[in-house]
Amino acid sequence: MTKTFICITLAALFFLGCSNDDSGDGGTMEDNTVTIEFSQQSGADLEMNSGNLPVLLLAGTVSEPSTVTISDTGTGSATGGGVDYSFESPQTITIPTGSYSGSLATAIAIPTLSIVDDNDIEGTETIVLALSDPTGEAILGNTNTTNYQILDDEAALVQFSQATFFDQERNGGNLPFLLVTGIVSEPSTVTISDTGTGSATGGGVDYSFESPQTITVPIGTYDGTSNSAIAIPGLTIVDDAMTEGIETIALNLSEATGNAILESETTTTYEIRDVIPCENGMVNNFSCNGYDLLGQVSLSTFSASSGNDIWGWTDPTTAKEYALVGLDDGTAFVDVSDDENLVYLGKLPTATVSSTWRDIKVYQNHAFIVSEAAGHGMQVFDLTRLRSVIDPPETFSADTRYTNIGNAHNIVINEEIGYAYPVGTQRNDAFNGGVHFVNIQNPTNPVGVGGYGNNGYTHDAQVVTYNGPDMDYAGREILVGANETQIAIVDITSKTNPTEVATLSYGNLGYTHQGWFTDDHRYYILGDELDEINFGFNSRTLVFDLSDLENPIIHTTYTGPTSAIDHNGYVLGNEFFLSNYTAGIRVLDISAISSGTITEKGHFDTYPSNDTPSFDGVWSVYPYFDSGKIIVNDINSGLFVIRESD
């Protein structure tokens, strides 16, 4: 597809009209459209509060009368007509003219929706609403239905917070607890029993627990979250220093008294997990050296066919660590904060169709996601939403989507200045598939401000605020692009006037794929994705000396122990973490890189079948968590969490 710029001068009409027919993003975007969707797929509040009701999020501009219809689907369990709630269905909502940000600041409340606080003990009831029939400039977004739960306040609903828990034996944490929702107005109890069906041994061998035991639920108001949860007394895990794999404890809730009633999660299984150490070069059937296995999440758990990119996010408020896992059909979010306690929180589906390629980066607690899927654009997801997931896994919706690009192979972010750089877009777009400049300082309102394409298609890149030895460029914003047949160094400080600094090539070039600066910005470590196949090398990693950005030179070459293809690699201090496809993760010691010496210090091979040069195994790695955990995404097997051996 092509992008055509048509500019027509109509002097008689006293204006210059200019239209941009951008078919490269999978569809033409009108000047004035507003995307409408529910603020959440599911919400809940106590009957007496009637809060947290769904609202309509709008993103875009409305210049003419526009409407959308909201209907009660009738599939919820609550009774309308003023019994449990009131709502006029269907009803047509008029969207006032104006501009909308896609956030709660410009949201529209749903008229006539109100909750009735009755005196009946009913448990949780639901209302299901749907959006349809947009008119004028209104179009529907992704979240077209919403399920609102009316949490009964005449009873206290008691349940385990989820059906399964787990943690490492040495931590003994992340134990099951009780969630209570509603008002306890009289003495109330529930009974917790060890079912005896778990594989762990009680009585202080693997764990201690007095069973059965009666738990008193104190009088008070409970919001159904961990803020008002009740711990299970006496449940402790014993670290016996034995390698036993996974052992389980199964607990059951029964015999509610007073105004406590049991909700859906009345059983839970807790898994006591050993860290599986790398011993004699193996973890299970995985070859290893110096790295232990903390846990895995399979592709089947994600309901996906293949994995690709991976990135991480640390919540600045809670210090929890999360894996952002690229999949063929979306992005999965996994809480990895408690070592092996891998909690799959949910998935953000792909914006259009599935694709082998997806890439993720983070800025200001938001994930920015691109894909080779046609018309995908750039999804933006507020990661702080992961704090409030109660019933995982959820299906998430994007907070906004930037559609001034269609497909993109990768995304680069310079977090110091708040700009995103989608690369590898359509080769016939305005920047030849090069680099697009997008201001993301307001993460949910990305603004395109130009781009650079003088060096052709950019497959991947790194952008830094330069702090290296070349003082001519100190403090400048420098892009180093892996451009298929060359490395391109570009000064992009001025978004209106980006300037080529240098280009360079090298011998036996197959496909210039991806690279990363050392922390001092002196050396650039590059992977060529096809040289192993085309020239029969073992894994080859090239190092360039960029002390003089205008005159870069090859510094040294490292050759790995296998013929596997090298893929994405990242620097952390004196280590280079190399995704090596069928050879897994290889960790290289680069402390002596100035002398040209690079050695392998360890590895973890997630693809035990072979080490041949094929596109299987590890796609990417993220080594930047403060905890030392390293998250790995394997194309064929999914998420691995590993850590350097003690």
Of the candidates 480, 449, 450, the residue with the CA atom closest to the CA atom of residue 463: 480
pLDDT given at position 339: 65
Q: Is 25 a residue whose pLDDT tops 60?
A: no
pLDDT given at position 314: 97
Q: Average pLDDT for residues 360-365, to the nearest whole number?
A: 98
Q: Is 10 a residue whose pLDDT tops 70?
A: no
- Which tokens in the block code for residue 595? 């002398």
- Spell out a b/e string for 67-87, using b for 16 or more CB atoms within 10 Å of the CB, else e: ebebbbeeebebebeeebbeb
- Per DSSP, the residues of 114-129 read EE---S-----EEEEE
Q: Is 86 a residue whose pLDDT tops 60?
A: yes
Gap between the Cα atoms of 22 and 356, Å rounded: 24
pLDDT in tens, 257-285: 888 888 888 999 888 876 778 989 998 88
Whole-prediction pTM:
0.64
Q: Is the peptide bond before 393 cis (omega within 30 degrees of 0)?
A: yes
Instruction: Find out whether 127 and 89 touch, Cβ atoms under 8 Å.
Output: no
pLDDT given at position 245: 67
Radius of gyration of the chain (CA): 28
Q: Is 29 a residue whose pLDDT tops 70?
A: no
Q: Is the peptide bond before 96 cis (omega within 30 degrees of 0)?
A: no
- Spell out a b/e string for 368-396, using b for 16 or more CB atoms within 10 Å of the CB, else e: bbbbbbbbbbbbbbbbebbeebeeebbeb
Backbone φ and ψ of 278, nearest 5°: -80, 110
Strand partners, 286: 283
Q: Average pLDDT for residues 488-510, to the nearest whole number?
A: 98
pLDDT given at position 243: 61
Amino acid at 237: I
- Per DSSP, the residues of 359-395 read EEEEETTEEEEEESSTT--EEEEEGGGGGG--SSSEE
pLDDT given at position 261: 86
- Which tokens in the block code for residue 353? 């169709």
- Which tokens in the block code for residue 397? 């919706």
Q: Average pLDDT for residues 569-598, to the nearest whole number?
A: 98
pLDDT in tens, 98-151: 999 888 889 999 999 999 988 777 777 899 999 999 999 999 998 999 999 888
Q: Where are the alpha helices (DSSP H) in 133-292?
A: none
**What is the 3 state secondary structure string of 507-572?**
CCCCCEEEEEECCCCCEEEEEECCHHHHHCCCCEEEEEECCCCCCCEEEEEEECCCCCCCCCEEEE
pLDDT given at position 340: 55
